[in-house]
Structure 1
């Protein structure tokens, strides 16, 4: 595997891990949920076979996992991987806008007052 393909797979893996396992930097700074917020909760319920709650917290978790596996399997076809990632990004953005319109600021798209901007302006 050459360097470019390794780099692409590394970027996809890092994005996947950031979306699932780390505290959201966007929500930590702004208080607003990001497109990947609640994926970890969704994964928790999916692993406990509670599909309804998993879909409630983030309906694109299962397609994201499937697309991640497809990208790993098709790592040799760079055009296909790029196309899959573009489609995934578009789906995430559209689904994020839907969630912000329908759910925000209620569960699962909650505004967090424990963020940097709120803390700064609270003292001004």
Structure 2
């Protein structure tokens, strides 16, 4: 049986990897940014107190954090949590379409030419 200490250490290790070495799997395969792309960059700039750049890279970072906290606080009220998650998903989809129409393929919604699809279609 795995002890609690090893489980906690494993969780910390996984979080460390996600924070410092994470690459979006959707963008790695397709080359197209996903709805959550640039959220880590936005978090980086928010932690460095650069609100303007944080909002530029992903304006829904702070609402995402707020909804996450509210879901934890209201976890016993499943209807409330479900409504919050539906609201969050709707906001993410609308914001994603807006960003794709406005920015793609320019910064911050760049096309990844190292993607699997680009590699396959370039060689076909």
TM-score under structure 2 length normalisation: 0.82
Which consecutive residues of structure 2, in runs of 5 or more, have no partner in the other structure?
1-14
The 1-side partners of 2:48 and 2:61 are apart by: 14
The 1-side partners of 2:99 and 2:121 are apart by: 27
Residue number in structure 2 paired with 1:39? 39
The 1-side partners of 2:107 and 2:78 are apart by: 38
Q: After the TM superposition, list the runs of 4 or more consecutive aligned residues in structure 1 that deviate by more than 2 angstroms.
A: none
- Deviation of residue 98 (structure 1)? 0.4
Aligned length: 106
Which consecutive residues of structure 1, in runs of 5 or more, have no partner in the other structure?
1-16
Structure 1 segment 108-119 matched on structure 2, within 5 A: 108-119=108-119
Quote the RMSD (CA, aligned, Å): 1.3
In the alignment, does 2:77 pair up with 1:66? no
- Deviation of residue 122 (structure 1)? 1.5
- Secondary structure in 2 matching 1:87: helix
